[in-house]
Amino acid sequence: MRIALAQLNYIIGDFDLNTSKIIATIEKCRQQGADLVVFAELSVCGYPPRDFLEFDDFILKSYKAIDAIASHCEGIAAIVGAPSHNPDVKGKNLFNSAWLLSDGKVQALAHKALLPTYDIFDEYRYFEPNRTFDCITYKGIKIALTICEDIWNLAPDPLYISNPMDVLALQTPDIMINIAASPFTYDQQKTRLEILKANTNQYKIPIIYVNQVGAQTELLFDGNSCVLDSEGKNVAGCKAFDEDICFADFNPDDKSIVSDSPQLIENSSKTALIHDALVMGIRDYFVKMGFSKAILGLSGGIDSALTLALAAEALGNENVYAVLLPSEYSSDHSIADAVALAENLGCKYDTIGIKEGYNSILESLKPFFKDLPFNVAEENLQARVRAVLLMGLANKFGYILLNTSNKSEASVGLADYINRDHEIIPVNSIAKPPSAELRPGQKDSDSLPEYDILDQILYNYIELRQSPADLVASGFDETTVKRVLRMVNMNEWKRHQTPPILRVSPKAFGQGRRMPIVGRYLS
């Protein structure tokens, strides 16, 4: 059997687009001799559809799309992902299902059993877990068909009490097929491959794994669909961060699986993976939202420099507009560094000083501020003047305003990666102490620990969930730890007001880290 792995980029709820892509891919694979084409989890409606699943019309459109796709499955079969009705009045109304389509109709369904409800996942909110398991058969080949999380319960500390493949393995399947929507983090590629190998080691049969690719708001999907033989060796794989199709030929007699044009999973560096993910995420957000042009404030520091470089690569330099917004405290080298970067990238840029707008607001507040000394209030006024100017330009000319990240070790690594062939981001922007330049001689380290220390504390606290005692025991200063954790937790309200944050870490600010705004833990 010749099996095609179809790694596509879907848009949630765009049934016309998703259906046409799936049908076009089936026809393309038919021409290349495929017997079966495998698509990703919830490929028909896009993943994650979230509360769209609560609309009957959304489910109806999904069923109509299934019918349309099935009509093109004559002489070839397809496995697609889509919601399906739960006929039992008890439990949730929907299953998360894999549909086998052939001979112009639906031949079989397999429902997802293990529904993740951690980090960014909330599938039990919508779906009923499957409790009965049967292999499906196509062209005499018995397939153990599972969906994403169903093969992930082989860790040393299992999250679930059952394992669908244990039941399916008793039916002596010839091959495993897993359709997935597995989001990217910088370590997910390695972890995912370990899980796939664990399954082949456990069940001694090959596995076909198909993941989606593309960005869905803040969630990034890297693809990396692949084929492993019964010994866990890579046979074929799709490209990362791009739509792709690869083929594998399976022989049920000896359970061997080969590919005539293998493209194996690439072992990219962490920095390269994050860079490619962010570029894809920016590009996809704009394309899927129907936007084309971006604007951002360019300060000469590493935060905005990195954002501009990524945006120019994602959208094209002609579609990114940089605005320099110097304060009276801005240094000449900051302005020069910003200009050098914009010119290196070929991006349009302009300079708008904020002194006049700031002074005008300050004059209005003078009767109320009286003679109180300069403090963070005046600093924040300058930052808000910058935001007002940028939003004014964005609204007037149809730009989307990009937020710039805070400097971290990851930012330095990304900047060095962007400069890997030649200098794009001025070295001075990378090396100089970061500053908002809102008062004389200001540096970020005046109000924060040095970033090399701050980053490590935040990593250990947020991603590894270490306690204050753990952090102190590992060598961090106790006073600094308490101060940093207090600042993180006291400012949760700000994160509820931020734009979407592209997720590249296993635990990141955004929908995967749900903290109460009002709370006293470590604050």
Question: What CATH number is attached to the domain comprising 324?
Answer: 3.40.50.620
Same domain, 288 and 255: no
Same domain, 230 and 357: no
- CA–CA distance from 269 to each of 191, 222, 414, 420, 464 (Å)? 14, 14, 11, 13, 21
Catalytic residue among 148, 226, 246, 347: 148
Same domain, 16 and 145: yes
- Report the candidate in 105, 89, 119 with the shortest Cα–Cα distance to residue 507: 119
For residue 8, being part of any structural domain is answered with yes
- CA–CA distance from 35 to each of 44, 210, 247, 257, 308 (Å)? 20, 16, 10, 14, 45
Euclidean distance between CA atoms 383 and 403, whole angstroms: 13
For residue 329, give both structure tokens.
């405290």
- Report the candidate in 109, 104, 194, 181 with the shortest Cα–Cα distance to residue 143: 109
Same domain, 157 and 137: yes
- Report pLDDT for 298: 96
Contacts from 367-373 at CB under 8 Å and sequence distance 24+? Answer: none
CATH (domain of 499): 1.10.10.1510
Same domain, 224 and 89: yes
| 343 flagged as catalytic | no
Q: What letter does residue 437 receive in the DSSP assignment?
A: -
| 356 flagged as catalytic | no
Same domain, 338 and 438: yes
Q: Average pLDDT of each block of 10 consecutive residues along the chain (523 residues)?
A: 98 97 98 98 97 96 98 98 97 98 98 95 96 97 98 91 96 98 94 96 98 95 97 95 97 95 75 95 95 95 94 98 92 89 98 96 95 92 96 97 75 86 91 68 68 87 92 94 89 77 83 73 73
For residue 115, being part of any structural domain is answered with yes
For residue 416, being part of any structural domain is answered with no
Q: Which of 207, 241, 266 is the last residue of a domain?
A: 266
Same domain, 456 and 497: yes
Same domain, 45 and 70: yes
Catalytic residue among 41, 123, 128, 379: 41
Same domain, 391 and 469: no
Owning domain of residue 494: 448-523
For residue 209, being part of any structural domain is answered with yes
Same domain, 220 and 291: no
Q: Which of 222, 245, 266 is the last residue of a domain?
A: 266
- Report pLDDT for 200: 98
Catalytic residue among 21, 112, 239, 288: 112
How many other CB atoms are found less than 10 A from the CB of residue 362? 15
How many other CB atoms are found less than 10 A from the CB of residue 338? 28
Give the count of alpha carbons within 13 A of 19, CB side only.
Answer: 16
> In this structure, are residues 302 and 425 in contact, taking their beta carbons and an 8 Å threshold?
yes
Same domain, 432 and 458: no
∠ CA 166-211-164, nearest 5°, is 10
Q: What single letter denotes the amino acid at residue 252?
A: P
Euclidean distance between CA atoms 515 and 512, whole angstroms: 10
> 414-458: per-residue pLDDT in tens?
889 999 999 999 998 888 766 666 667 666 556 678 888 888 998
| 73 flagged as catalytic | no
Q: Which of 210, 238, 266 is the last residue of a domain?
A: 266
- Report pLDDT for 511: 77
For residue 164, being part of any structural domain is answered with yes
The total domain count for the chain is 3
Same domain, 24 and 122: yes
For residue 417, being part of any structural domain is answered with no
Q: What single letter denotes the amino acid at residue 478?
A: E
| pTM, 2 dp | 0.90
- Report pLDDT for 447: 65
CATH (domain of 253): 3.60.110.10
- Report pLDDT for 92: 97
For residue 44, being part of any structural domain is answered with yes
For residue 234, being part of any structural domain is answered with yes
Paired strand residues for 177: 145, 208
For residue 304, give both structure tokens.
């905005």
